[in-house]
Amino acid sequence: MSEISSCGIKVKPLSIVIVSYNSKDVMKACIESIRINNISSSYEIVVVDNASTDGVTEWLESQNDITLIKNQDNKGFGAACNQGLKHQVLIMIYFTE
């Protein structure tokens, strides 16, 4: 995939895979930080939710720039990362908890 330029800075597109489990407040802050600090066309966000019950899933569903994978039970961090990898589109990948 080609580089993206803005203000003279070249960046490669990035897939950000985030595993979620009952972390609504942290998730909101994380997503907002990504949005504020990055060029929107330079990344995609893939969130794998491990059956959260704190409302984070509903919040994620309302975000139009996030690919959400909803698990019916907690698959664990490693399995959720692998699920996110299967759905990512861009070449570079960054995992976060």
Average pLDDT over residues 33-47: 91
Q: Rounded to whole angstroms, how far apart are CA atoms 97 and 67?
A: 16
- Closest among 71, 69, 75, 73 to 88, alpha carbons compared: 69
b/e sequence 25-61, b meaning 16+ C-beta within 10 Å: eebeebbeebeeeeeeebbbbbbbbbebeeebbebbe
**Token reading at 28:** 């909101």
pTM: 0.82
Q: How buried is residue 21: exposed, middle or buried, by Cβ count under 10 Å (0-12/13-18/19+)? A: buried
Q: Over the stretch 58-91, which tens digit does the pLDDT of each residue have?
A: 999 999 999 999 999 999 999 998 898 887 665 5
